[in-house]
A = this chain, B = another copy of it.
Amino acid sequence: MERIPILKMGHFLLVTIQVDMYDRLALTLQDDLTNQILKTGARGVLIDISSLEVVDSFIGRMLGNMANMSRLLDAETVVVGMKPTVAITLVELGVSLKGVRTALNVEKGMELLQESLRSKAGEKGNERQEG
């Protein structure tokens, strides 16, 4: 069966979506991703969609779902590599990708995740000091 690979890079997972997502592939990806987060203890997920020329409301919703699931498992999601035409289409479709952070490319996305990881560690440190 076709599967989208999930690559572990340090504390983060990288998913590169290259093929058109149909229902079962999307569901398999959601399963695989949540399992991988648990297995690896990953703190962030990068979803690269730079190969996608078209993103419909189904994929938009799926991206939102994956971000929410990851958040529940204490991993932040950043969607990277969105094409300008895709951004235009998503807005026109009324899909706002609420709660999904985006970055121009994988490098910038990884910086974002590292920053937010540091600031979380900082907060924890402060809580401990206060408590």
Q: Which of B5, B8, B50, B106 contacts A18 (CB 8 A)?
A: B5
Copies in the complex: 2
Instruction: Give the shortest distance, in Å, between A9 (CB) and chain B (any CB).
Output: 6
Other than A4-B51, A7-B48, A9-B106, give 15 A-B pairs with Cβ distance below 8 A.
A3-B51, A4-B18, A5-B16, A5-B18, A5-B48, A7-B16, A7-B50, A7-B106, A8-B105, A8-B107, A9-B9, A9-B110, A10-B107, A14-B14, A14-B106
Instruction: Give the shortest distance, in Å, between A27 (CB) and chain B (any CB).
Output: 17
A residues 1-21 in Cβ contact with B at 8 Å:
3-5, 7-10, 14, 16, 18-19
In this assembly, does A64 line the interface, its C-beta being within 8 Å of a C-beta of chain B? no
CA distance A19 to B107 in the complex (A): 24
Known A-B contacts A16-B16, A18-B16; the reply to A7 vs B51 at CB < 8 A is no
Residues of B within 8 A of A10 (CB): 107
Residues of B within 8 A of A51 (CB): 3-5
Residues of B within 8 A of A44 (CB): none
CA distance A81 to B8 in the complex (A): 11
Instruction: Give the shortest distance, in Å, between A99 (CB) and chain B (any CB).
Output: 24
Closest to A105 in B: B8
